[in-house]
Structure 1
Amino acid sequence: MGAPSFERLRVLDLSRYLPGGYATQVLADLGADVVKVEDTGLGDFCRHEHPQLGGMSYYHEALARNKRSVALNLKDARALEAYLKLVETADVVVESFRPGVTRKLGIDYDTLREGNPRLVYCSLSGYGQDDPRSLRALHDLNMQAQSGYLSLNGGVKAPLHLCDLASSMVAAQSILAALYDREVSGEGRRIDISMFDSFVWWNSLLDARWCFQGGTLDERSVIYPADCCFYNIFETADGSRLSLGLIEDKFWRAFCEDVGAPELAEKPEGAYGRVCELVASKTLAEWEAWIAERDLPIAPVIDKGAAIGQMLECEPDMMAYCDFPRAGRVLQTNLPHRIAGMRPSISDFEEAPALGEHTQAVLRELGWSEAEIMELVESGGALVAGKGAS
């Protein structure tokens, strides 16, 4: 699985929850040796989210496949020594502590680069390492609120963590860019990822529109407002829903003509209400038959079960079930990166690790004897988990 070039990469992931884990998931799936370095208590908080199967959290199974777990108490001198030795073998470190914590622990970029000048060190925080707002307790929704985005969508809380996902994308891109630069310069880089800035980047079209409209933007002045007649979701006669994406004028006019309402082609006042009535005049099945005879960007809104069933049938290389030792039969989603010769196979995926499952193996790789490992474990500096641990 993965490409030989990625199999030579070692990534140490000290992050918790989605932003860092999602970014390093890309590298793990491409074949890099991603080692989750977790504390000996709870480990990554996402391990404990519900629902769970076989003691394994859905969150952890989605973000930690193909990775290894080493559990170390970095406040313990011997455990810290082991971690610093591990860093010497690493290409990338990813962390999401609040600014200043890594320096207190003795694992900040300036310290680590002394032993490994080729290290790419990626820090994720709310607003960046030098912004005092990053010292506050904030989550994804708070930053969406501060970006102005929630004022444009009716204040609806999205089922996906948009700031987290934006920062994951930016982190993965930055890591790959820094690794490429390292091949040229021979030097590593420090990467400072701001979750807020990452989401601001995703908002660039909205912010440009705000500027072009003279500094105004609200729900009524966004490109597709809530009562948009041609790009919206409408209810059918049987309570189902239909999505209309008739952005291009040719599609909108063809729709108006074919539904017997050519007077709507110029999008007059009240067009939204009229389209609501038109869509509500047929059942979803009737609309599906109508759509099948036309080349129009219209599609039913289907639920997750139907969508996943469709994916499993049409794109088994993108979504499939894996039989894992602890959780059992688990749905897994592949990378969308279709790079010839590099895309992983879902059938090769390994289950997310138990906390400390690979502590012994990794410490052995560093030259530690069994006696030294057990001494560290008994002192509380490390955790060694069996296959049954979560």
Structure 2
Amino acid sequence: MPAPLAGLTVLDFSPLLPGPFATRILADLGAKVIRIESPDRPDLVRQGPPFVAGVAAGHAYLNRNKQSLALNLKAPGALAAVLRLVVQADVLVEQFRPGVMARLGLDYTTLQAHNPRLVYCSITGYGQTGPLRDRAGHDINYLALTGLSAGSGRQQSGPPPQGLQVADVAGGSLHAVIGILAALRQREQDGLGQHIDISMSDCAFHLNALAAAGQLAADCDTPAEGGLLNGGSHYDYYRCRDNRWLAVGSLEPPFLIALCQAIGLPELAARFGIDPAQAKRQLAARLAEQDRASWEAVFASVDACVEPVLSLPEALDSELARARGWVVDVAIGDDTVRQPAMPIRFSRAEAVYGQAGGAVGEHGRTILREAGLDEMEIAALQAAGALGPACDADLQQ
């Protein structure tokens, strides 16, 4: 079956996580993604352990299905080579601070003149405008400045550091993909591309749907442990006797009644309407009396929204993961590596799992030739020091 985005060409100038995650989604859906990397300033994701087949596992996943061109954008001839790629591209994704692409001669206004159909997506921490546009930031900063951190965690211990990059991925990456696909749809109607300004802090705020809506409409703040979903109710995590945990999401009355009946305290459901804090303490005490495995057996046949808190290895080995195909084998060199699968399922299309991300510039010769550069032009780039070592090796094939 065909991939949904087959025929699209994407130029990816982004390092680290948000941009590469977004373009990996596009690549999994069939787009041709050309990643343009610095030959002498490697992406930090390439250097982080663990490694598989000599490649960082994170890089191998984030850059799945992509081609790599190592190009020094400041070297003579590099800009002209990029423009040859731009005129053939549908989408460009960049993740530099505002103004960097303009200094390189690769800003949207300049490239639009070469390709009016280009959809140009900029991903930054604080957007192209505003007081923090030039400020550095990371995921924890975006969550802090948008109110998400203050509403999480415990009143005594404060907000917890997250084990995943919420603002980067759920904010920046996924909103970038939405914006790109929307702009491509509009281009079908009028033939013109446009610039998309993705701020990870904007998008993080957008994720805080219920609390932000309540605050804006009714001036109703939701501090940590002060709301229905952040520890202020029995919707919470509970420690078991063996120091493992259960996630209790029994919000609706039928689920709460089923929960209390399953743990042998049917009268507790009514107490939540009288003294919810005391009832929650009783629930916690009861769940602490048995190991997690015992409660798993109890709730296996009870529809009460109660599930075990699994470690990542346990989750990957679960029946759910196997049934839903969370993991795929992807080629890497002469071997394969297990990676997270594309989670979107189509009735008449399939995701692409061609190859894991590899060496910097490993597809340089192919990319430049397909862009229309002849051997003399490629040799000139090489002589000017514009091409990285992997591309040099490619040129000698």
Q: What is the TM-score normalised by the length of structure 2?
A: 0.90
Tell me what 1:223 maps to: 228
Tell me what 1:361 maps to: 366
Whether the 8 Å CA contact 1:91–1:120 is kept in 2: the answer is yes
Q: Confirm whether residue 235 of structure 1 aligns to residue 239 of structure 2.
A: yes
Tell me what 1:74 maps to: 73
SS in 2 for 1:270: helix
* Residues 181-330 of structure 1 aligned to structure 2 (within 5 Å): 181-211=186-216, 214-226=219-231, 228-229=233-234, 231-266=235-270, 267=272, 268=275, 269-310=277-318, 314-315=322-323, 317-325=325-333, 328-330=335-337
Q: Confirm whether residue 339 of structure 1 aligns to residue 346 of structure 2.
A: yes
Question: In 1, Cα distance between the equivalents of 2:361 and 2:227?
Answer: 49
Residue range with higher mean Cα deviation, 58-67 or 363-372: 363-372
Per-residue CA deviation, residues 276-324 of structure 1 (Å, 9 max, x unaligned), is: 1111222223222222342222112221111111268623643133342
Tell me what 1:33 maps to: 32
Judged with a 3 Å threshold, the aligned counterparts in structure 2 of structure 1 residues 92 and 208 are, in CA distance, closer, same or farther, namely same
Unaligned runs of 5+ in 1: none
Question: What is the Cα-based RMSD across aligned positions, in Å?
Answer: 2.2
SS in 1 for 2:167: helix
Question: In 2, Cα distance between the equivalents of 1:179 and 1:90?
Answer: 12
Per-residue CA deviation, residues 136-194 of structure 1 (Å, 9 max, x unaligned), is: 11111111111121112231111111110111111000100111110110111111111
Question: In 2, Cα distance between the equivalents of 1:179 and 1:112?
Answer: 17
Whether the 8 Å CA contact 1:242–1:298 is kept in 2: the answer is yes
1:157 paired residue among 138, 151, 161: 161
Whether the 8 Å CA contact 2:11–2:89 is kept in 1: the answer is yes
Query: Offset of 1:7 from its aligned partner?
Result: 2.4
Judged with a 3 Å threshold, the aligned counterparts in structure 2 of structure 1 residues 297 and 324 are, in CA distance, closer, same or farther, namely same
Tell me what 2:106 maps to: 107
Amino acid at match of 1:271: A
Question: In 2, Cα distance between the equivalents of 1:255 and 1:47?
Answer: 46
Amino acid at match of 1:143: Y
Unaligned runs of 5+ in 2: 154-158
Amino acid at match of 2:205: V
Amino acid at match of 1:344: A
Amino acid at match of 1:262: P
Judged with a 3 Å threshold, the aligned counterparts in structure 2 of structure 1 residues 130 and 263 are, in CA distance, closer, same or farther, namely same
* Residues 128-143 of structure 1 aligned to structure 2 (within 5 Å): 128-143=127-142
Residue range with higher mean Cα deviation, 10-19 or 268-277: 268-277
Tell me what 1:117 maps to: 116
Amino acid at match of 1:146: L
Question: In 1, Cα distance between the equivalents of 2:110 and 2:87?
Answer: 12
Residue range with higher mean Cα deviation, 57-66 or 250-259: 250-259
Q: Confirm whether residue 350 of structure 1 aligns to residue 355 of structure 2.
A: yes
Query: Offset of 1:248 from its aligned partner?
Result: 0.9
Q: Confirm whether residue 177 of structure 1 aligns to residue 182 of structure 2.
A: yes
Amino acid at match of 2:99: G
Query: Offset of 1:333 from its aligned partner?
Result: 1.5
Aligned length: 384
Query: Offset of 1:238 from its aligned partner?
Result: 2.4
Question: In 2, Cα distance between the equivalents of 1:316 and 1:219?
Answer: 34
Query: Offset of 1:212 from its aligned partner?
Result: 5.4
Whether the 8 Å CA contact 2:321–2:327 is kept in 1: the answer is no
Per-residue CA deviation, residues 325-366 of structure 1 (Å, 9 max, x unaligned), is: 17x542211211112222225xx4312131011111111112
Whether the 8 Å CA contact 1:242–1:299 is kept in 2: the answer is yes
Query: Offset of 1:130 from its aligned partner?
Result: 1.7
* Residues 25-64 of structure 1 aligned to structure 2 (within 5 Å): 25-64=24-63
Whether the 8 Å CA contact 1:319–1:332 is kept in 2: the answer is yes
Tell me what 1:167 maps to: 172
Whether the 8 Å CA contact 1:312–1:319 is kept in 2: the answer is no
Amino acid at match of 1:62: Y
Residue range with higher mean Cα deviation, 12-21 or 47-56: 47-56
Question: In 2, Cα distance between the equivalents of 1:167 and 1:313?
Answer: 26
Whether the 8 Å CA contact 1:124–1:192 is kept in 2: the answer is yes
Question: In 2, Cα distance between the equivalents of 1:132 and 1:52?
Answer: 39
Query: Offset of 1:73 from its aligned partner?
Result: 1.1
Judged with a 3 Å threshold, the aligned counterparts in structure 2 of structure 1 residues 241 and 135 are, in CA distance, closer, same or farther, namely same
Per-residue CA deviation, residues 203-224 of structure 1 (Å, 9 max, x unaligned), is: 1211123345634321132223
Whether the 8 Å CA contact 2:240–2:287 is kept in 1: the answer is yes
Question: In 1, Cα distance between the equivalents of 2:219 and 2:118?
Answer: 45
Query: Offset of 1:48 from its aligned partner?
Result: 1.6
Whether the 8 Å CA contact 2:39–2:71 is kept in 1: the answer is yes
Judged with a 3 Å threshold, the aligned counterparts in structure 2 of structure 1 residues 179 and 223 are, in CA distance, closer, same or farther, namely same
Whether the 8 Å CA contact 1:43–1:71 is kept in 2: the answer is no
Q: What is the TM-score normalised by the length of structure 1?
A: 0.92
Per-residue CA deviation, residues 73-118 of structure 1 (Å, 9 max, x unaligned), is: 1112311110011101100011111111111111111110111111
